[in-house]
Structure 1
Amino acid sequence: MRAALVILGLAVLFGFPVRTQAGYILDMDYACFRANDSLGYVEIYTAIQRSGIAYRRTGDSLTGDFRIVLDVLQNDQTAISDTLWTEDVADTNSISSSAGQFFSHVFRLIMRPGRYGLRVSMYQQDPDPKDVVADSMIVTLFSADSLGLSDIEFGSRMEYTEAESRFAKNGILIIPNPTRFFGTQLPLFYYYAEIYGLDFDSSRADSHTVIRRVLDAETGQPARPESRKIVKTLGASAVVADGFPVTALRTGTYYLELQIVSHPSGRSTSHREQFWTYRREDYAAGRTIATPKPSSERLQSLQSDFLDIVDADSALQWMRYILTKEESKRVSRLTSEGKREFLRVFWTERQKENPNAAVEYFARVVEANRRWSFFKRAGWKTDRGRVFILYGEPNNTTRNYASAQLPDHELWQYDQLEGGAYFIFYDKTGYGDLDLVHSTKRGEVYNPDWSKQITPGSMQQIGE
């Protein structure tokens, strides 16, 4: 107990997580949000490497029983303690390729402001913990009257939902990524934060600007183009939840910086958090990561090829946009082993020119599902999802929302595609799902008279 407290003291002193066990199994992170004027709402995120869990066979599945113990300390004394007794159920195939896969959990606390110590322990079978990680935490108060921005939660997956879940808040489900590592196996970076104290008067059309910057921690220079979005203000508080691909970021340390400008007052606030990216080819070439976390052990857990982890049948379904008819017929007759071998051969050939070809393609599938899933129709099956998967993010998007004269429609412009091409999507049914009605890209739907399907003059309204 005393040794753990000494190590916890080091974490508080230097402000970084400290591990008291040799093996890497457990990760922890936290984020503070507003509860009220005198208390903070804290979420403490944990993730356990599934490869570090001992499983037993129960019928056709494998079950691992364990417990996660959270201790919140103040002045070397335990102020709060909470325990999750749980089990993880998986099939044999998922466990055999479980490197880099995590069991996630979130502890929720209402706390007074101040500085605390955190200690999370993972126990299974033995009385001694399999892994322990310690960190320091500062609980911050956020006023309802002053413009403020909460901590930033990093996630491995995000979607809008009305369902109850321990990972959902304000209609957004985000699976936390306490490792703060993204790249080879997590090619999409998601984040969630809350804004407080915005200018808001129901008699005005108030708005606020959300500015996102990704900065190289070594140079302080932008690692991605700055993103600016003007958002209509619907109340004194708001949520910032978005994502972006990280496949273009080389192995290294970065900052995500969010800045909020509230209009019409012009008040501004910002917050930044550190994260890391990993690409196998960078690490193999000798590029390392400057991080106090146990990076060598963590990177060993990320060494598995993406194609070892993805479900072969699902991957082949998602690849239907790039497979020939002959290839589709051939894979339909293959065994499970044959399908996985087909995936390896297919992407090995394409990765000669782009080592991240597979990761980038499937990252677009995941993002398409997040953006455009409609009722029971997955986003990758929609027209916008297909175009996004094949050609990537457009250089410019013009969205025209429905009005009395005009239904929803979008114009996507690709500057480098065949010297400049555009796609026009239109809500034919009025239910919010947009279909492709015209494109100048060869091989796509070509219908120069598409505007007659909407109303006279609509071409001019979207910039034609």
Structure 2
Amino acid sequence: MMKSFFKVIFLLALTTSTKAQELRFGLQPIQYVSETQGPYVDFFSTLDASTIAFEMDADSIWHARFKVALSFEGKVDVVRFEYTSEDSASSAPLMLQKSTFTFDDTKEIEKRPLEIFLYDEVSNSDWSFSDTLEYVASDFWLSQPVLLDDVEEVPVNYVKRGVSVVPVASLGLPVFENESTLSMYTEGFVASGKYILQYKLTDAYGNIIPGTSGFARCNTGSTPVYNKIDFSSQKSGQYEYSIVMLDSTGQAVAERISPFYWYNDKADEAAWNGPEVSVTRAVFENGWGQWSQVNEYLRMIAPVATMSERRIMTNLKDSEDTARIASFIVNFWTDKNAMDPLGEWKGYLVVVDKVDQEFGSRTVPGYRSQMGRVFLQYGAPSLVEERSFDGRNYPYQVWQYDQLKSSSTPVQQNQVFIFVDQELIGRQYTLIHSSALGEVKDHKWQYHLTRHTNAGPDIDATSTQYSRDNFGERISNSIIIGNQGTWFDRF
């Protein structure tokens, strides 16, 4: 029986004193099965070069040098990142390196240890981590689809079966900015039997993008699946490429999903410049609202806007063209309900009013509060766990959603939001961490709840490390990559 293995992804959020920045590094294993080599894994290391140390050399140019060493299956591979810049490091890119290891399939160990060593040559800082990859027996295997970058020069070790397999460098979801085509690569392996691969591209609502679905029959051994799609007409949004392996009865035996962000200014502008309703002040104030408040209405509807609509709203929010903003608002609700756009808007205002009563204050309206924004975007949580101030922990709430739906993200299951009142003023709860896509993440959120009381040598320690358990029972303590806030923080 052919042995195969499940995919394990982890992303590291590391804190370094160098330049007082957070080191951002990601490691993603993509696993395959070769007819000749057997099972093997490609590790893609991604480094944000703007978060490592730089030094000026004799050539008056800034240099950064960083090493990553991986130890797996009794072997070690070292890759080196080098970057130079004539000015500051603020615009340094995400950088990608690849390591490949073959599994020793004679071992009966399911979880194979992985050691990661990081070393900043400029600052002389180093880190080490341990993890595992799981290895199980199966007659088939489906690899995680890789969303490909379009690069001119491709190193030979990135070529698979004649295809350039260079992933888009990312720390989180891959991002495509004003591209015209989209390329994906994956492989299915079958030791014996009849299997079919079914693939498709869907938008945030689960709708299949026309011309992006299809089938591929699995041959004995490895079957590559390479798709290159003209995506130039698709508006900005979050999309998913998914592929399913079906057995001879039509039963799905494996599925892999690769979500990504797609930004397309031309398509967004075309949608805005297309047929629209032109609104006068008299018409707007006759039912829609006050002409002088259109900028505020724009902020009210931000939580329920699609990613394409957000791109337009970003350009409109500081505009003095009141008529253009008013027209956008009317067209926004016309897209949502062409039969009764005004009724749709008034129905939303009822919810906004309730949110204001629940989460607003004298200085901040409810829809501008972080709790109010989350409520408007995703609806009411399935469960709220509230902890009051007890002398050791700040008051905080855990919002749990069994199913998470919004206009800008795909459907998600079992997600949580952590809000904390560090000012102790009742209604000013701040969102410090969420497991949901596109939301702020902080792997040290528990520490921020008890920072004023957590005594011990390790500032990253959670309360349970000091025999206390003051946190929500349904929250995972796993490391999650940090980010720079959300779109709403900048809007």
TM range (shorter): 0.3 to 0.5
Query: TM-score of the superposition, structure 1-length normalised?
Result: 0.44
